[in-house]
């Protein structure tokens, strides 16, 4: 025992462990911290979990378009605890996004971003967007039809941004559209670049929390005055401060542990999202639902008229980021209590309701392909010509019906084709099908000449409803 203590004393003396960490652990914090303060630390707990499981996954994952899907299959089906590992990483991501969102809303509602914590808020906003970016890039790394198709929808918008679209797409996707080259890019973002930014800003965020102290619980009528705040805060800590550990931190530890345990239980009992087959433009036989945290953003853009969409894809996020960054400069003093800031509370509730309704809409998603479509019935083909009938079968088999409506069958993503030959000649039809279009895959390399002609024979027979 004595010897152990001696060893520890040596390490401690030479490394400065106690000297550095004791003041942090014991530093005084305002009394009366509540359960509402636990979401920041819970986000950090999730982050640690993500780093550990992410590193473990990267040991087996192969970021190349020919191997990625296979390596994920191996992780899921064969590797020891691989499925649970993927599950933890998936639910950990969900947990992190939920916690960071609640943390941000809590800070906004209690105006903890006011003087002198402006930079804490700004670094937090950056961390919030980096967390979303991690979710988005991670989804593509799954490299199954689901992950790829969801990213295609979002990423191809990028190319349509006025003026800088092409350039932005090449920078972000490594090409004009998503393909094998995008996978290595996204891997780099997800594993090196974004985590590096996150570590940097988490460090800075925590340093600021220590430097400026955590915000005292808001009190009606107690105003923040930049001229006197720091002196007042210091005096308050001297008089009433309590050591961070254990008097304030025990809630963080309990809540953080519960969060981690829930994530692990979800991973064991529900598991990661099933892989939906390798990405293949010829077979759309998957439901390309983006992971839930992307759904609201998807709905928003799906609902927007295409004309505004190309502008909104850049203006929307830019404006959101700008407003969030400007917040602590626009209002950095005065009342903090939510009861005295009813508009802030009302605004938050509106945003939450808005995001939630978009989410519910996204669940039903009338704008995405209808993969449950059944083969065309004879009534809707109304022809006895064998080529036309064969074409109608191909029209279903090749996935056209998922997006195009024929009478009362099919999806809504593309234009209705019930009487398309009134609009388009066989030559026009060929061009459209071979080249695809916005939100329609190019079928040139997918259909054989014969298949193409058979489908066109079918479409050319469509003259009336």
| Cβ-based nearer residue to ligand HEC, 278 or 415 | 415
Q: Is 405 in the site for ligand HEC (CB under 6 A)?
A: no
How many CA atoms does the CB half-sphere of 427 hold within 13 Å?
0
Element housing 242 (H / E): strand 242-243
Which of 124, 174, 328, 399: binder of ligand HEC (CB under 6 A)? 399
CB 343 within 8 A of CB 108: no
Query: With CB under 6 A as the contact rule, which of the stretches 12-20, 34-42, 268-276, 427-435 interacts with ligand HEC?
Result: 427-435
Strand 242-243 relative to strand 409-410: parallel, antiparallel, unpaired?
A: unpaired
How far is it, in rounded angstroms, from Cα 404 to Cα 369?
9
State the minimum distance, in angstroms, from the CB of residue 302 to ligand HEC.
Answer: 12
Which of 208, 284, 286, 312: binder of ligand HEC (CB under 6 A)? 284
State the minimum distance, in angstroms, from the CB of residue 452 to ligand HEC.
Answer: 8
State the minimum distance, in angstroms, from the CB of residue 158 to ligand HEC.
Answer: 17
The burial class, CB within 10 Å (0-12 / 13-18 / 19+), for 68 is buried
Residue 406 dihedral angles phi and psi, to the nearest 5°:
-120, 115
Q: Is 370 in the site for ligand HEC (CB under 6 A)?
A: no
State the minimum distance, in angstroms, from the CB of residue 362 to ligand HEC.
Answer: 17
How far is it, in rounded angstroms, from Cα 140 to Cα 182?
9
Query: With CB under 6 A as the contact rule, which of the stretches 21-29, 167-175, 353-361, 407-415 interacts with ligand HEC?
Result: 407-415
| Cβ-based nearer residue to ligand HEC, 271 or 415 | 415
The residue of the chain with the least Cβ separation from ligand HEC equals 437
| Cβ-based nearer residue to ligand HEC, 46 or 388 | 388
State the minimum distance, in angstroms, from the CB of residue 384 to ligand HEC.
Answer: 21
Q: Is 290 in the site for ligand HEC (CB under 6 A)?
A: no
Q: Is 443 in the site for ligand HEC (CB under 6 A)?
A: yes
CB 115 within 8 A of CB 333: yes
| Cβ-based nearer residue to ligand HEC, 98 or 440 | 440
State the minimum distance, in angstroms, from the CB of residue 325 to ligand HEC.
Answer: 36
| Cβ-based nearer residue to ligand HEC, 96 or 403 | 403
Which of 292, 289, 296 lies closest to 357, judged by CA? Answer: 296
Q: What DSSP string runs through 5-35?
A: HHHHHHHHHHHTHHHHHHHHHH-EE-S---G
**Alpha-carbon distances, residue 352 vs 345, 356, 359 (angstroms):** 11, 6, 10
Q: Is 404 in the site for ligand HEC (CB under 6 A)?
A: yes
Q: How far apart are the first and last CA of the chain?
A: 90
| Cβ-based nearer residue to ligand HEC, 30 or 415 | 415
Task: Look at residue 409 and give its three-state secondary structure.
Answer: strand
Q: Is 415 in the site for ligand HEC (CB under 6 A)?
A: yes
Which of 130, 406, 429, 457: binder of ligand HEC (CB under 6 A)? 429
| Cβ-based nearer residue to ligand HEC, 212 or 439 | 439
How far is it, in rounded angstroms, from Cα 383 to Cα 301?
39
Q: Is 440 in the site for ligand HEC (CB under 6 A)?
A: yes
State the minimum distance, in angstroms, from the CB of residue 79 to ligand HEC.
Answer: 34
How many CA atoms does the CB half-sphere of 228 hold within 13 Å?
8
Q: Which of residues 150-189 bind ligand HEC (CB under 6 A)?
A: none
How far is it, in rounded angstroms, from Cα 332 to Cα 188?
38
> CB under 8 Å to 257, separation ≥6 — which residues?
45
Q: Is 26 in the site for ligand HEC (CB under 6 A)?
A: no
Which of 423, 450, 463, 465: binder of ligand HEC (CB under 6 A)? 423
Residue 375 dihedral angles phi and psi, to the nearest 5°:
-55, 150
| Cβ-based nearer residue to ligand HEC, 228 or 285 | 285
Exposure b/e, 404-429, CB count within 10 A at least 16 = b? bbbbebbbebbeebbebbeebeeeeb
State the minimum distance, in angstroms, from the CB of residue 66 to ligand HEC.
Answer: 24
Q: Is 432 in the site for ligand HEC (CB under 6 A)?
A: yes
Angle between helices 292-303 and 306-330 (to 10 degrees): 120
**Interface map 330-369 toward ligand HEC (x if CB under 6 A):** ---------------------------------------x
Query: With CB under 6 A as the contact rule, which of the stretches 25-33, 168-176, 217-225, 428-436 interacts with ligand HEC?
Result: 428-436
Angle between helices 2-15 and 17-26 (to 10 degrees): 90
With CB under 6 A as the rule, give the number of residues binding ligand HEC: 23
Which of 41, 165, 414, 457: binder of ligand HEC (CB under 6 A)? 414
Binding site for ligand HEC (CB under 6 A): 284, 369, 398-400, 402-404, 413-415, 420, 423, 429, 432-433, 437-441, 443, 455
């Amino acid at each position: 025992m004595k010897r152990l203590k001696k060893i520890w004393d040596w390490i401690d003396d030479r490394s400065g462990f106690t000297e550095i960490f004791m003041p942090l652990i014991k530093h005084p914090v305002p009394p009366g911290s509540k359960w509402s303060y636990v979401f920041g630390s819970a986000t950090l707990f999730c982050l640690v979990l993500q780093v550990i499981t992410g590193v473990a996954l990267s040991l087996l994952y192969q970021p190349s378009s020919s191997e990625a899907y296979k390596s994920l299959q191996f992780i899921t089906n064969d590797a020891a605890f691989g499925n649970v590992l993927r599950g933890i990483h998936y639910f950990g991501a969900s947990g992190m996004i939920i916690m960071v969102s609640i943390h941000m809303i809590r800070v906004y509602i209690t105006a903890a971003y006011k003087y002198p914590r402006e930079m804490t808020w700004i670094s937090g906003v950056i961390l919030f967007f980096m967390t979303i970016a991690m979710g988005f890039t991670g989804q593509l790394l799954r490299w199954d039809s689901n992950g790829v198709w969801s990213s295609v929808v979002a990423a191809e918008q990028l190319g349509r941004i006025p003026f800088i679209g092409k350039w932005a797409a090449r920078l972000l996707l490594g090409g004009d559209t998503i393909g094998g080259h995008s996978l290595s890019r996204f891997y780099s973002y997800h594993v090196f670049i974004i985590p590096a930014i996150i570590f940097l800003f988490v460090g800075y965020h925590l340093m600021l929390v220590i430097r400026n102290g955590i915000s005292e619980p808001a009190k009606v009528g107690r105003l923040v005055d930049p001229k006197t705040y720091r002196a007042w805060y210091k005096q308050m800590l001297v008089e009433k401060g309590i050591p961070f550990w254990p008097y304030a931190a025990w809630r963080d530890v309990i809540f953080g542990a519960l969060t981690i345990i829930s994530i692990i239980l979800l991973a064991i009992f529900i598991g990661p999202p099933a892989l939906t087959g390798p990405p293949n433009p010829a077979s759309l036989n998957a439901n390309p639902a983006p992971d839930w945290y992307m759904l609201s953003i998807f709905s928003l853009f799906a609902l927007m008229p295409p004309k505004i969409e190309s502008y909104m894809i850049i203006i929307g996020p830019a404006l959101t980021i700008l407003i969030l960054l400007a917040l602590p400069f626009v209002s950095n003093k005065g009342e903090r209590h939510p009861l005295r800031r009813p508009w802030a509370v009302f605004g938050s509730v509106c945003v939450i309701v808005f995001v939630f309704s978009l989410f519910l809409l996204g669940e039903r998603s009338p704008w995405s392909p209808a993969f449950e479509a059944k083969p065309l019935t004879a009534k809707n083909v109304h022809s006895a010509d064998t080529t036309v009938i064969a074409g109608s079968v191909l029209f279903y088999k090749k996935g056209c019906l998922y997006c195009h409506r024929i009478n009362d069958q099919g999806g809504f993503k593309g234009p209705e084709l019930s009487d398309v030959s009134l609009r388009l000649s066989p030559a026009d039809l060929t061009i459209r099908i071979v080249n695809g279009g916005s939100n329609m895959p190019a079928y040139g390399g997918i259909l054989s000449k014969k298949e193409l002609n058979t489908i066109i024979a079918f479409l050319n027979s469509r003259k009336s409803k």
